[in-house]
């Protein structure tokens, strides 16, 4: 497929980085417990556990499969010509970052480190929203990237207005999340996340009802 050929180097590099926690887990295999905490509550206490083989092998392989599934779906997008190469490159880096962050937190906890999972995750989400928010206004109509709603896909003006607002709100939410993450104010973080996601959808629907 053309899209795979065009991004071959990035796919190889990001695929390797997604599987990097597997390599680290195999090196640390004898030091890791038979069950590994893979989910944590807001109090940083683990509330979800996985077997060592699944944590070391299964999760990274699942994320790699998810990466390729998303790429194959994008390759079949009828509007794929609207997807800027830089936008796709950005998306391809999200799962490698998630995989390595998860690996550091899970292996670290298993080896005796007490990470502040809530704060670290919030900082990561804030950074991610800033990056996505900066890119949203540049995103053109497609079925796989952006705020994909029936009315945004049917109206280019609706798409553009919605993504300009969405970009501003995502950046504002990202900054707010970064500020709230330092003292660990998690309720405002959820409010910011909800507002950044829901307000553009409602705004887009309002535009649609106005005939835009």
Task: Give pLDDT, residue 119.
Answer: 92
Contacts for 129 with CB less than 8 Å, ≥ 6 apart: 170, 171, 173, 174, 177, 196
pLDDT of 23-64, one tens digit each? Answer: 999 999 999 999 999 999 877 888 999 999 999 999 999 999
pLDDT digit string, tens, across residues 190-206: 999 999 999 999 999 99
| pLDDT > 80? residue 3 | no
How much is the pLDDT for 212?
86
Nearest to 170 by CA among 197, 188, 189: 197
The Cα 78–Cα 2 span in angstroms is: 14
State pTM to two decimals. Answer: 0.89
- Give residue 114's pLDDT: 87
| Separation of alpha carbons 128 and 98, rounded Å | 10
Residue 152: what pLDDT?
Answer: 94
CB–CB of 14/90 below 8 Å?
A: no
- Residue 35 in contact with residue 51, Cβ under 8 Å? yes
Task: For residues 68-87, give the mean pLDDT.
Answer: 88
- pLDDT at position 6: 82
Mean pLDDT over 101-130 rounds to 93
Lowest mean pLDDT among 116-120, 126-130, 156-160: 116-120
With a pLDDT cut of 90, the percent of the chain lying above it is 77
Query: Crossing angle of helices 117-135/186-209, nearest 10°?
Result: 30
């Amino acid at each position: 497929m053309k899209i795979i050929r065009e991004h071959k180097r990035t796919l190889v590099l990001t695929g390797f980085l997604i599987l990097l926690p597997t390599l680290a887990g195999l090196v640390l295999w004898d030091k890791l417990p038979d069950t590994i905490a893979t989910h944590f509550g807001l109090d940083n206490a683990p509330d979800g556990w996985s077997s060592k083989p699944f944590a070391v092998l299964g999760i990274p392989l699942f994320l790699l499969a998810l990466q390729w599934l998303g790429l194959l779906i994008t390759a079949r997008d009828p509007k794929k010509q609207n997807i800027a190469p830089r936008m796709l490159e950005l998306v391809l880096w999200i799962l490698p970052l998630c995989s390595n962050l998860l690996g550091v937190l899970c292996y670290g906890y298993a080896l005796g480190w007490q990470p502040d999972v809530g704060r670290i995750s919030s900082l990561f989400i804030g950074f991610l929203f800033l990056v996505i928010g900066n890119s949203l206004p540049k995103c053109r109509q497609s079925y796989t990237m952006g705020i994909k709603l029936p009315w945004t896909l049917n109206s280019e003006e609706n798409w553009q207005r919605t993504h300009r607002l969405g970009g501003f709100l995502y950046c504002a939410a990202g900054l707010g999340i970064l500020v709230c993450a330092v003292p660990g104010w998690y309720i405002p973080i959820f409010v910011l996340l909800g507002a950044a996601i829901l307000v553009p959808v409602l705004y887009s629907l309002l535009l649609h009802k106005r005939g835009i």
